[in-house]
Amino acid sequence: MKSILTVCRKELSDHLGSRRYLLLFALIVVLSVLSAYTGADYIRDNPNVSFTNIFSGSMNNSFSFIYLMVLFGPIIGLALGFDAINRERTRGSLSVVLSQPIFRDSILNGKFLAGIAALSLLTISTVGIITGIAIPLLGFGPGVDEIIRIGSFTLLTILYLSIWLAVGLLFSTITKNTTTSILASISTWLLFSILMTVIATMVANAVIPVELPGGFQAMTRTVNPSPDGANGELGAFNQTMRFTQNATIFDQTQLEDYMETQEANADLELAIQSISPTYLYEEASQSLLGVTEGGFGAGGNPFQALDTSQSVSSSWPQVTVLAVVLIACFASSYMLFLRQEIRAGG
């Protein structure tokens, strides 16, 4: 344990003093301040929402703290882990460290704990800055229930960032040079943070295609411009209603099949998106903050807040999956690192 803490202190000192970490820290702080002002404007325009909406903003707002973590969070975690092992192996310093009276697993554990500590410092600082800015802007602060929600959301964010740290550490253990590691890290980030939604939609539409029933098509062709005359608009309205009613009655079975197919298509798309840690984090964040029951993507009502116990229970499946992903990535790195042959000079 002592050797793990020694490695952790050394790696944490390197992180906090590196330009890479400081630049990412400054970028996240600046963007978080801007998101705090955006969230404060939304709360002022909607007095019925809670203080926790400072982190989520409105349903149509793409510039919130949750969105920032979904998009930039993986970059932060990967940046701290993609060269943790192969950089020292290339320099030859890893074999020197292992020649000391220190266990090999202590190196990996210390590096991982140092990365989590650096990510925790970044997350707690940004959440504190957003909360501190929002209080004077809104004229009120969070209550006890909202403080619990914010604390749970902070822990969830640390867990989410730690997953990407573990992914970067895994690539650093597998690959022999940092170039390959960073390319693999960027590809993984693009896949799960940006491309997964597109892939899920394409696969769902290919497996379960959704086509409009014949009644809808007939109704579309029937609605023509209104005829000339004093009662043209009324006549066109009655004609539209008549054909709409006939199409609905005539194609009731088709409409039911269409709705079932559409629901199955949406379920498959959500199931594919659930593979992505970013999607799981976003859904769990919205539940923990009590923003909406169904989540923004499900068309939920942003004014329909859940109580704390319901928020925790509804987000628990996503949190469990995220924890399993974290353990799996780190365990893979651990086993690979212990079995690797490390020679002097790389």
> Does any domain span residue 346?
no
More confident residue, 115 or 293: 115
Assess whether 27 and 152 both reside in one domain: yes
pLDDT band at 3 (very low <50, low <70, confident <90, very high): confident
The identity of residue 314, as a single letter, is S
> Does any domain span residue 259?
no
Q: Which among 87, 269, 80, 274 has a CA at the least distance from the CA of 163?
A: 80
> Does any domain span residue 255?
no
Percent of the chain at pLDDT > 90 equals 42
> Does any domain span residue 307?
yes
More confident residue, 216 or 200: 200
Assess whether 93 and 233 both reside in one domain: no
Assess whether 314 and 228 both reside in one domain: no
pLDDT of residue 221: 43
Rounded to whole angstroms, how far apart are CA atoms 173 and 335? Answer: 10
Assess whether 142 and 233 both reside in one domain: no
Rounded to whole angstroms, how far apart are CA atoms 184 and 172? Answer: 10
Query: Region 65-90: what's the mean pLDDT?
Result: 89
> Does any domain span residue 258?
no
> Does any domain span residue 98?
yes
Indicate the average pLDDT of the chain: 81
Assess whether 280 and 171 both reside in one domain: yes
pLDDT band at 191 (very low <50, low <70, confident <90, very high): very high
Q: How many CB atoms lie within 10 A of CB 185?
A: 26
pLDDT band at 338 (very low <50, low <70, confident <90, very high): confident
**Percent helix, strand and coil across the chain, each to the nearest 5:** 80, 0, 20
pLDDT at 199 over 50: yes
Q: Which residues contact 91 (CB under 8 A, 6 or more apart)?
A: 346
Assess whether 195 and 220 both reside in one domain: no
pLDDT 10s digits, 272-318: 998 999 999 999 998 898 875 333 333 344 445 567 788 888 889 99
pLDDT of residue 208: 87
The identity of residue 198, as a single letter, is V
Assess whether 155 and 288 both reside in one domain: yes
- Domain end marker among 222, 250, 278: 250
pLDDT of residue 257: 78
> Does any domain span residue 25?
yes
> Does any domain span residue 188?
yes
Lowest mean pLDDT among 98-102, 179-183, 222-226, 332-336: 222-226
The identity of residue 89, as a single letter, is R
Assess whether 221 and 204 both reside in one domain: no
pLDDT 10s digits, 136-171: 998 888 989 999 999 999 999 999 999 999 999 999
pLDDT at 201 over 80: yes
Assess whether 114 and 188 both reside in one domain: yes
Percent of the chain at pLDDT > 70 equals 79
pLDDT band at 42 (very low <50, low <70, confident <90, very high): confident
Count of domains observed in the chain: 2
CA 341 to chain centre: 36
pLDDT at 59 over 90: no
Assess whether 89 and 15 both reside in one domain: yes
More confident residue, 265 or 229: 265
Assess whether 227 and 278 both reside in one domain: no
Assess whether 34 and 170 both reside in one domain: yes
pLDDT of residue 320: 95
Residue span of the structural domain in which 96 resides: 2-210+265-339
